[in-house]
Structure 1
Amino acid sequence: MRHGVLILPDRRWSQARAKWVRAEELGFAHAWVYDHLMWRWLRDKPWFGAVPTLAAAAAATSKIRLGTMVASPAFRHPVTFAKDLMALDDISDGRVICGLGAGNGAYDDLAMGADPFPPAARAARFAEFVELTDRLLSATETSYRGAHFSAHEVSMHPGCVQRPRIPFALAAAGQRSMRLAAKYADIWVTTGTVGKPEPRPYALSLPLLRAQLSALDQACADAGRDPSTLRRLVLTGGMISGVLESAGSFADASGMFEDIGFTDLVIHWPRSEFPYQGSEKILERISPH
């Protein structure tokens, strides 16, 4: 089981840098940042951009993998985003993971002055977003015309450090997004229950997670892909609660998730206040090192 940590971009870099460096020192396999223009409970609080944050984190670290959790077409275009990712992969010497998700039609859409897309249109837009981002990162030149995104003779020299491209971590819960994960993803991502329900303790989340894992296996089978080639990541702290209450609960949850088939577990860096309130001392106790 690989363990990772998500660090909110809610502090100036003079303060935030220490967390990213410490995440590497503690032995976490990967560190993530939310990719939003503004976010839920911190909508009126400090919030910094994901790409510059990851660039700074890449320069401050040397081993830990770094990723977006997750970028969406709400305010990203595949052409400009692919250029940013290529630069991040270069700065990090091949440590970037491209986390992708459809978005939820909330604050990012409103910030861009767009009306929320109906579910079917959102899914179609996300499919194009993933397909075109894949093409751009895999080829030296790309032209593409879709219903939602286009590209014309986009040059991607010198290309990604990682070959054939930066790995994709794709958040998927429905059948259509599961098919996308089976086709394009290196890592599948789940947060448990989608929407805005009440959080569930990690033990009570297991039936849902098992069902999602089974659906992912079926999507892989339908695509002719060996399911074992796709890593499975569970992000906790939002819809899945109780994981970081103690070192014991973390070990218990990690074992349960691994037993049902997950390869990666991500927690949120504890904050002094809501959301994700907790003690940073717990990180020392659960350190992979």
Structure 2
Amino acid sequence: MSLRLSTVILPYRRWSEGGREAWQRAEQLGFHTAYTYDHLSWRSFRDGPWFGAVPTLTAAAAITDRLRLGTLVTSPNFRHPVPYAKELISLDDISGGRFTLGVGAGGSGFDATVLAQDPWTPRERADRFAEFVQLLDRLLTEGSVSYEGDFYSAHEAHNIPGCVQRPRLPFTVAATGPRGFRLAARYGQAWVTTGDPKLYENGTSEQSIQAIREQVEQLTDACDEIGRNAAGIDRILLTGFTPDQGRPLESLDAFVDFAGRHQELGFTEIVVHWPIPDSDFAVDEKIFEQIAMEAAAQLR
């Protein structure tokens, strides 16, 4: 299978000041999917402009034709499945069935406390994540849903006409631990990882490859537990968080080498960040566009 190349466009620019052009250019360059983060703020961008994921993706759907669109990733930190399902069905409809939901457990950053709540423990995040995904799956496939869970409830939640994509829009599940892998195996059309976060600052490329290989094995084991063929789940790597950091985008050859090593692990999609000057995602735009246009052919 050929390796797909996608990008993630952070929503930090006004639509009229470069935001619109980035999404259109992503389609022109031939990216398979353009994602955006689903946060209320994020790291060094907290004190600057930051726009909502769903409105941004809806606007992007209106100005593109072929490009798939997605979140990478949504979390339960500030969302409830019932109103969010209505937004997702609308976005899937407006995009003509080009939307993919990336979903994860969330972390302990700004989003975790913005609603004036105490940060959830890792166990509670995992518990909420499982219930969030389970209920979203039902809301996006059933016409009317009533549900009473530990964290979320629904009473005759109607979601007619449902998704354009059937039986529902695809889920890309972020997972690095056993419970997450079980969710990916049961509900995911794809799995996404950023590698092992413990290796980001002081690890090596070789250690990262081994850690990701072990993650792939855990996904396979989770699929085996429920009798699912793991080959039916796409494997996506979001770059920029492995020990390699920005080096794969320093040249076409460097990227082809990096992507090829992950393709050998069975990855079907590599996601690179759209260039942002004066940030961790700063990169030569000419090299970035060369990678977008030429790398996939070299990796077939």
Match of 1:273 in 2: 278
In the alignment, is the contact (CA less than 8 A) between 1:202 and 1:253 conserved in 2?
A: no
TM value normalised by structure 2: 0.93
Q: Paired residue for 2:49?
A: 46
The residue aligned with 1:223 is 226
Q: Is the CA contact (8 Å cut-off) linking 1:178 and 1:215 kept in structure 2?
A: yes
In structure 2, relative to structure 1, the CA distance for the partners of 1:197 and 1:48 (3 Å cut) is same
Separation in 2 of the partners of 1:20 and 1:204?
A: 34
**Distance 1:77-1:195 versus aligned 2 partners, 3 A rule:** farther
Q: Distance in 2 between matches of 1:245 and 1:127?
A: 38
> Which one of 229, 243, 255 corresponds to residue 250 of structure 1?
255
SS in 2 for 1:233: strand
State which of 5, 8, 11 in structure 1 corresponds to 2:10.
8
Q: C-alpha deviations, 1:127-154, integer Å up to 9, x for none? A: 0000000000011111111000011101
Asked if structure 2 preserves the Cα contact closer than 8 Å seen for 1:271 and 1:280, the reply is no
Q: Residue 257 of structure 1: SS of its match in structure 2?
A: helix
Q: CA deviation at 1:94?
A: 0.2
Note the C-alpha offset of 1:282.
1.6
Report the TM-score when normalising by structure 1.
Answer: 0.97
CA deviation after TM superposition for structure 1 residue 275, in Å: 2.3
Alignment partners' CA distance in 2, 1:105 and 1:80? 23
Q: How many angstroms does 1:121 deviate by?
A: 1.1
For residue 195 of structure 1, report the CA deviation from its aligned partner: 6.0
Kindly provide the amino acid, as one letter, of the partner of residue 5 in structure 1.
T
Partner residue in 2 for 1:144: 147
Instruction: Give me the identity figure in percent.
Output: 50
* CA distance in structure 2 between the partners assigned to 1:199 and 1:272 by the alignment: 25
Which residue is equivalent to 1:198?
201
Q: How far, CA to CA, are the matches of 1:230 and 1:264 in structure 2?
A: 11
* Cα deviation, residue 40, structure 1: 0.9
Residue of 166, 172, 194 corresponding to 2:175: 172
Distance 2:72 2:103 in 1: 7
Provide the C-alpha distance between the structure 2 equivalents of 1:196 and 1:153, rounded to a whole number of angstroms.
46
Q: How many residues align structurally?
A: 289
Amino acid at match of 2:279: F
Maintained 8 Å contact 1:167/1:186: yes
| Residue in structure 1 matching 2:192, options 189, 194, 206 | 189
CA distance in 1, matches of 2:81, 2:198: 25
Shift of the alpha carbon at 1:197?
Answer: 4.5
1:57 matched residue in structure 2: 60
Listed as ranges, the gaps of 5+ residues in structure 1 are none
Amino acid at match of 2:117: A
- Deviation of 1:198 after TM superposition, in Å, equals 1.3
Judge conservation of contact 2:147–2:153 (CA < 8 Å) in 1: yes
> Equivalent residue of 1:209, what SS?
helix
Moved >2 Å (runs of 4+): 194-197, 199-204
SS at match of 1:105: coil
Instruction: Report the CA distance between 1:199 and its aligned residue.
Output: 6.8
Give the letter for the 1:168 counterpart: F
CA distance in 2, matches of 1:258, 1:196: 20
| Deviation by residue 1:35-76 (Cα, 9 ceiling, x = unmatched) | 001101111111000000000000010101100010010001
Give the aligned CA root-mean-square deviation in angstroms.
1.4
